Structure 1
Amino acid sequence: MNPATRERMSLDGHWQFWPDLHSKLAPRGLLGGTADEDTSPTEAELTSALGSPRAIAVPGAWQAQFEDLRSWAGRAYYERTFKVLGAWAGRRVRLCFGAVDYHCAVWLNGALLGRHEGGYLPFELDASDAIRHGAPNSVIVEVIDAGPGDNDPFSFDEIPHGKQSWYGPVGGLWQGVKLEASSPIFVHKALIHADPQACIAAVRARLGAPAAGGEQLVYRITSPGGHSVSSVHGAPLDAGATHEEIAIPLASPELWDPASPNLYSLAVSLLHEGRAADEWSDGFGFRSIAADDGALLLNGRPLYVLGALDQDYYHPTGYTPPSDDLLRTQVLRAKELGLNLLRCHIKVPDPRYLYWADRLGILVWAELPNWNTLTEDSKRRGRDTLAGLIERDFNHPSVVIWTIINESWGIDLAGDSSQRRWLAETFDWAKPLDPTRLFVDNSACPPSFHLKSDLNDFHFYKAIPDHAAEWVVLTKDFAAHPGRFYSPHGDAERTGRETQLVSEFGNWGLPDINNLLDNDGRDPWWFATGGERAGGIVEPRGVKERFTDWGLDAVFGSWRELVRHSQEHQFEAMRFEIEDMRRHPEITGYVITEFTDVNWECNGLLDMARNPKSYHHRLNQVNAPDVVFAVPGRRRYSTGDAVGLDVF
């Protein structure tokens, strides 16, 4: 075996699972626990107290897999047995988790490997001393998931959770798990700032363990076409060194953008006594993004944002994408719709989401999941989560914008000056962490506002045609008076150079529920959601019965005809709103709500299973970088009338 070759073993698949529905067991793995509380629960103990284990798929939240756990949050236990080869002996073995919601403790063969708090970030634990080579190993994970209303041991209101307060809690191992074997000293990660103006890839490489002394890092860059374009040796590392920074020049680099998603590759090799001991690699792209004098510039050229808000929920798996193929397909469908950006809304996407965005070419606007109440704990967790996300996703050229807060959720901007100060300070704190991207302080809607932001974005929702006149007034005011959308309390720090975007608007278009039934013709589990909204009329369950009970069959003739008319109305409403925004050159783009339906929300451009709607191949006629359209002076004319048109 080449000593530089890392070996990986996926632990995805079926695990044993015990939900502690009635809190029969005391938590063993809380942060700050005593020695007794650190003791691993055994499979026999779990079965004795909680009954026979269920089989659960990892990755995947338990709420999406068990009928009786749809809205349950609490404490649960996972167990999996596996073997590793004896050839791994003497290597550093790490147990790596993509994301676990919300708090977990991990034991291997009875030894506590560590704990982790936070539902969105990857983490890894050193398993080298606990693992058995050539013999069975047992890993047990205790998960504590907080749901709406929970306060002990974690307050749901004070942890980043995003739309879990809308669509239900998400708990457990919702991203993948793997083992990785490497040399004892290894390359943990490298952050790559690819500057297209300077023609330099600035690299900060970090080791997973301090250098012994004398090791050397070698950096090799491969072009988008697969050709080696640079090979640079770093200086010998001092004993105890944990990182190295180096600038690698590249002549005339190929740029990354949605039309030409040119990806380079960086491989970082660790040499020990002149021989390769480890290698790490990742893709990256030369791409710049800037807001300047009201324009949004991608690689120095004006960009008109043609975006859609993506809740990033999946049918029927909820938080977890069901397959790589679906992630690839949804990017292709987004591009068919004319979109150049997806706003992944207050949820952290699976890394595979960004993998396909990088390779197929679509911009991503990423966001920090919100909490409900701003306290010292939620401040700490929010910043820790954002810093971790920036590090995780730093090398993805598709990610161009970060949002800190959405619509003042979790913060009282209108009523508390200290919370406004915290947001402005957080903006200033975050900017140096990622100089390659733009930041939004608060993606605003009435009555909230901006304080300090690279983008002046705002959300407008009006039903069309009922409130078309109000829509026209809103967009005209937004274009003409951008300062009105900043804090009225005298503490805004507006430069006047911010880009203006309408970052949420949309209309509903019903899906054909026949495309969402399972193989046995049954409703998916999420059809039972939404009963608490709008008096229950948006709940998917029972919609065909309501169609008949309300006499809509007499109007439309069939369910499919209602769906067709609903989707055509959605298209016409969007066309009106898009054409109205395009009349104002000050508005440099928009984000449609939303990319896909989610549970009871039916305003997607695709349904929740990523099936197209009726206008799929027509939307790009109005949702395009350059469009020509005419607006008549009035809506009604008689035969022989002269028709006046304004052409845009």
Structure 2
Amino acid sequence: MADERTPGPGPRAVTRRQAVGALGLAAAAAGAATDAAAQARPRVQRGEASLLYPHESPTRAIRDLSGLWRFQLDPGDRGEADRWFETSLPKPRHIPVPCSWNDLFDDARDYFGTAWYETDFHLDPAWRGRRVCLRFGSAVYRARVWLNGEYLGEHAGGHLPFAFDVTGLARDGAANRLTVSVENRLALDRVPATPDPKTSHFYLQDYPQTAYDFFPYCGLHRPVVLVATPDIAVQDLTVTTGFAGAAGVVDVTFAVNGGWSGPASLVLSGGPTPISAPVEVKAGRGVGQIRVPAVRAWSPEDPHLYRLSVRLGGGEAPIDEYGLKIGVRTVEVRGSEIRLNGKPVFLTGFGKHEDFPMHGKGLDLPVLVRDFELLKWIGANSFRTSHYPYSEEAMMLADEYGFLVIAETPGVSLVFSDPPDVIEARYRQLERALGELVRRDRNHPCVIFWSLANEPIPKPFHTTDEAPVGAVEAGTQFFKRLFARARDLDHTRPVALVSVQNGPPEWVGQGDVICTNSYNGWYAVSGQIDEGVATLEREIAALRAHHGDKPVVFTEFGADAVAGVHAHPSEMWSEEYQADLIEAYWKTLRRHAFIVGAHPWAFADFKTAQSIMRVGSLNQKGVFTRDRRPKLAATRLRALWGSSGR
């Protein structure tokens, strides 16, 4: 949930409780003055906002506030002091929501400071007497929110949802003004981080300087919605599945606000006939189980989804009903295998990015569907959400398509040569993001394991200074805490982190699956595919020596290729070199039974910071161009994945 502390500007700062109480009285008085019917409105007390995805049901309604909003940059950080949240934006222009701001305006491409969003909305008269929540799918990086001039709270960290209960704050019968400030400053103590040039001696400069190789797009990247529910409603829901012979077992735990107690039921549809199970909710907690005879197990070959509904109340008309699609499946690590429904799987697919021209990292449903169609065309069965949580819509669509997903936190390029207080600040942020990620995505059958970080390193990339003594141990302790937290949050899935060139083994070895990125033939032994393969074989032997029989996934390998550049014999930057290197890696990896996945980097070209390594500010390791045209490597992989099995 969003942080609801109220640091409110100036002498008018009040406590959160005072603000809510005063505003509740004001809203009630305004409602009575503008609409006599409001006097009869049932009183609904504000509470904690649910973070469940806003699915509609007979008891729930959704209003999408996406569209054209008013927008203004605030390079001097004057907006809060000048109370723009009360007076509206002084010189706004239009911006689409969801979208990144960087590709839209000439003065905003490399702007990472504060910017303001503003829109107006009316409540549906049918929502009177109902609880109303305001939900943001993602704001990068830090958002502060006001409604009708009153501060609601803030959320730090992009890519994950946050929400506020605005019951009584959102006015009936009059326009409501929603104001949001968003900033994405590149800071040393954030996740992901920006190196400190005062302490890191770079031999390669990027602009903007980041510790990661993708562009730091900013803004409201996912939908903003209003959700109307009954006063008593399902607040949270956890589904775990398994098998008992030919039957499926669906265990459900759910929470109801207000400590409510009473009868409820679970209903599962999607089979020959609906299956119901009664549940008795006690003090806001319900626990139930459904057994599914002759169950259709969810898998890439048959991504069958059932619909689960939780209904509160014992009558024909439920007090509340919340429903979602689920898949019945199990995932486990056994020896050197990752097993889905008891059978070993081999992961073919990619790391990829939420990235497209104009939209930046803003949710783009046509691109999402096209990407999944191309994944099917090429023969992929999986992808990694590198290097941050992807949209909820992407996860739901992956459930439908049957893709296996490695769900990754925003912990990219963590550096352990930085001061201890900085490392601890990052840990707190990453632990919070991990909790938000697991809570959001734990019910998706597509998610087969969690990745806690990508390429954590003892010292920054592109620096000449040595890593200090103790950096490896600092990382070891950091990840020991984080792995323990992940396993506490979800005991049903494996956990891993993604290393670069195998190390440090003290970090990656804490995972249930060993994930590694390897760039022989590109960053190492450049231009020499044969020597790259020889080096790769040595890496594989080292992995086996360090980590025993744990399964290994090569989560990145490949080369940049500029579309249309050809060479014979193949050479770096040509489409032929990229295709040849990927094929050489693929054939080498498939000779080792304990290697259970191969994800070339990357699915498609994507925008990066400007640098001498990135022609056109693009990482061009994609097997598709940024606008999704196939390179030679795409057709080569399609042939390999079709003929070699998956």
1:175 match: 222
Cα distance change of structure 1 residues 397 and 163 upon mapping to structure 2, 3 Å threshold: farther
Distance 2:127 2:542 in 1: 64
CA contact (8 A) 1:424 1:451 kept: no
Amino acid at match of 2:140: D
Deviations 1:370-417 (CA, angstroms, capped at 9, x unpaired)? 255552221111011011101101111111121112221488897342
Is 1:20 the counterpart of 2:80 in the alignment?
Answer: no
**Larger CA deviation: 563-572 vs 434-443:** 563-572
1:261 match: 303
> Pick from 425, 428, 433: which aligns with 2:481?
425
Unaligned runs of 5+ in 2: 1-55, 197-207, 460-466, 608-617
Distance 1:13 1:606 in 2: 30
Q: Matches of residues 95-174 of structure 1 in structure 2 within 5 Å?
A: 95-148=134-187, 165-174=212-221
1:336 match: 377
Is 1:276 the counterpart of 2:318 in the alignment?
Answer: yes
1:205 match: 254
Q: How far off is 1:429 after superposition?
A: 2.2
Distance 2:640 2:81 in 1: 55
Q: Secondary structure at the match of 2:319?
A: strand
2:612 match: none
1:401 match: 449
1:346 match: 387
> Pick from 595, 604, 611: which aligns with 2:629?
611
Q: How far off is 1:142 after superposition?
A: 2.1
Q: How far off is 1:344 after superposition?
A: 1.6
2:534 match: 473
Cα distance change of structure 1 residues 294 and 625 upon mapping to structure 2, 3 Å threshold: farther
Distance 2:123 2:73 in 1: 28
2:556 match: 504
Amino acid at match of 1:246: G
1:88 match: 127
**Larger CA deviation: 563-572 vs 296-305:** 563-572
Is 1:570 the counterpart of 2:617 in the alignment?
Answer: no
**Larger CA deviation: 436-445 vs 604-613:** 436-445
2:99 match: 60
Distance 2:348 2:470 in 1: 30
Distance 2:302 2:645 in 1: 22
Amino acid at match of 2:253: R
Is 1:438 the counterpart of 2:494 in the alignment?
Answer: yes
Deviations 1:308-353 (CA, angstroms, capped at 9, x unpaired)? 111222223221232x232122112112112111112112101111
1:537 match: none
Distance 1:57 1:143 in 2: 15
CA contact (8 A) 1:509 1:570 kept: yes
Normalised by the size of structure 2, how large is the TM-score?
0.78
Q: Secondary structure at the match of 1:476?
A: helix
Distance 1:418 1:455 in 2: 22
Unaligned runs of 5+ in 1: 29-38, 487-493, 513-546, 557-561, 629-648
Q: Matches of residues 170-569 of structure 1 in structure 2 within 5 Å?
A: 170-197=217-244, 199-207=248-256, 209-213=257-261, 215-223=262-270, 227-235=272-280, 237-238=281-282, 241-271=283-313, 275-322=317-364, 324-370=365-411, 371-372=414-415, 375-409=423-457, 415-445=471-501, 447-449=503-505, 450-463=508-521, 466-484=527-545, 486=546, 496-511=548-563, 566-569=574-577
Amino acid at match of 1:60: C
Q: Secondary structure at the match of 1:181?
A: strand
Deviations 1:16-60 (CA, angstroms, capped at 9, x unpaired)? 1121122234469xxxxxxxxxx772235x41xxxx101011111
Distance 2:296 2:624 in 1: 33
Cα distance change of structure 1 residues 615 and 384 upon mapping to structure 2, 3 Å threshold: closer
Q: How far off is 1:118 after superposition?
A: 2.1
Q: Secondary structure at the match of 1:593?
A: coil
Q: How far off is 1:463 after superposition?
A: 2.4
Distance 2:521 2:96 in 1: 41
**Larger CA deviation: 443-452 vs 94-103:** 443-452
**Identity within the alignment, %:** 26
Amino acid at match of 1:9: R
Q: Secondary structure at the match of 2:629?
A: coil
1:489 match: none
2:12 match: none
Distance 2:57 2:434 in 1: 35
Q: How far off is 1:12 after superposition?
A: 0.1
Amino acid at match of 1:24: R
1:633 match: none
Cα distance change of structure 1 residues 614 and 25 upon mapping to structure 2, 3 Å threshold: same
Distance 1:414 1:362 in 2: 40
Cα distance change of structure 1 residues 220 and 40 upon mapping to structure 2, 3 Å threshold: farther
Deviations 1:189-229 (CA, angstroms, capped at 9, x unpaired)? 3111111357311111122x21444x322211112x5x443
Task: Compute the RMSD of aligned alpha carbons.
Answer: 3.2
Distance 2:555 2:366 in 1: 28
Distance 1:216 1:275 in 2: 13
Distance 2:504 2:562 in 1: 30
CA contact (8 A) 2:354 2:390 kept: yes
Normalised by the size of structure 1, how large is the TM-score?
0.77
Q: How far off is 1:299 after superposition?
A: 1.5
Amino acid at match of 2:107: D
CA contact (8 A) 2:222 2:391 kept: yes
Distance 2:491 2:294 in 1: 21
CA contact (8 A) 1:265 1:281 kept: yes
Q: How many residues are treated as equivalent by the alignment? A: 546
Q: How far off is 1:572 after superposition?
A: 2.5
Amino acid at match of 1:97: F
Q: How far off is 1:120 after superposition?
A: 2.2
CA contact (8 A) 1:308 1:343 kept: yes
